[in-house]
Amino acid sequence: MRVKVAVETSVLIASSLYIVSKELRSTKIAKDPHYDRAIKLTLKLRRSVRQRVGVYTGRIARQARNTVRDAARRCLDREGCKPQNVSIILNHCSDRLERILETLVLEPIEQSDKDRLFTQVIQMYTLLLQRSSLVTDQTIRSLAQAKANQTASPHFRRIQADIQQRQIGRDLRQLYNLKANPPETSDYEILAEVVALRESYVTEAPTQLLLASTDSSHFSPIRYADGTVSDQVTKQIEETFHIKCDWPDTIADMLPEPGDQTES
């Protein structure tokens, strides 16, 4: 089966910043694992450029370019900021972003497909938001208590309920985050475009489409250091639209080494 990776804005931005930070010899950014995760995928996709594995959409590119420009504008709001310095930073972050985009394929999307899928995406998130509204401290406490009552002897029920409460809170973290940060229109649009892409790909050949993102409220699962995950939103996206969302470094590990993959 052919594999394609749609690269979301957050990954493009983090990779661009990482490269500029290396050029400027910034130790602060080079040490931040957030950027490391993104660059791992970007470099792998660059090596796979002939296989045309990495893709993006017009909406993703616009959002990425605007993110860099808006950040420059915010710098200028600060007193004492020198326009010359901001001009250099804007130039080189934009250049890096453009060089990364050149290693990916810009896919056209039919507007009617996007409009149709936009509605379906909103419906899916609306259902998820309804589910997330049930995730309150009180319901988590009640669930934990009920579980403790079933599994622990009366003497240990209180301790067991505390443990269960933490566990359930961790398990449902993605839904909880979704409630705290409801998706924005741009998130709906990006997912609708990616789903439209998948529909178009599968008419050509069996294709698995992965969405690389560091947004763990709306797309990628929350991955804990002990290997467990919270992925109610991610699973729903996969069940509804057959799009697998994950962190860029995880997706990089899933991809075959360049040259191993044969185009269908």
Partner 1 sequence: MVARVPSDLLSELAHIGSAISGMVEYGKIDALVTDRLSRVVESIEKKEEEWRNRASAMPEGTFAAYHAWRNLRLVACKMQNRFLKALGKHENPTTAVDSLKVFPAFFEVCAGLCEMEGRKWSGEDELAMLSRITDLRNIAYHANMLPSLDEELREVSRREVLSEFERFAAGIRVDQHASKSRGRN
Binding site for partner 1 (CB under 8 A): 10, 13, 17, 20-21, 23-26, 28-29, 34, 37, 65, 67-78, 81-95, 98-99, 173, 177, 180-181, 184, 187, 214-218, 222-225, 247
Amino acid (one-letter) located at 43: L
> Edge-to-edge strands of the sheet including 243-246?
105-106, 54-56, 2-7, 207-212, 243-246
Q: Is 172 exposed, middle or buried (0-12, 13-18, 19+ CB in 10 A)?
A: buried
- Residue among 183, 180, 182, 201 at smallest CA distance from 191: 183
Minimum distance, C-beta of residue 76 to partner 1, in the bound complex (Å): 6
Q: How many CB atoms lie within 10 A of CB 50?
A: 10
Minimum distance, C-beta of residue 139 to partner 1, in the bound complex (Å): 21
Between 182 and 258, whose beta carbon lies closer to partner 1?
Answer: 182
Between 67 and 261, whose beta carbon lies closer to partner 1?
Answer: 67
Minimum distance, C-beta of residue 95 to partner 1, in the bound complex (Å): 6
Minimum distance, C-beta of residue 164 to partner 1, in the bound complex (Å): 19
Between 193 and 249, whose beta carbon lies closer to partner 1?
Answer: 249
Minimum distance, C-beta of residue 171 to partner 1, in the bound complex (Å): 12
Between 77 and 263, whose beta carbon lies closer to partner 1?
Answer: 77
Between 53 and 72, whose beta carbon lies closer to partner 1?
Answer: 72
184 phi/psi in degrees, rounded to 5: -100, 165
Residue 260 to residues 2, 51, 93, 257, Cα–Cα distance (Å): 12, 10, 32, 6
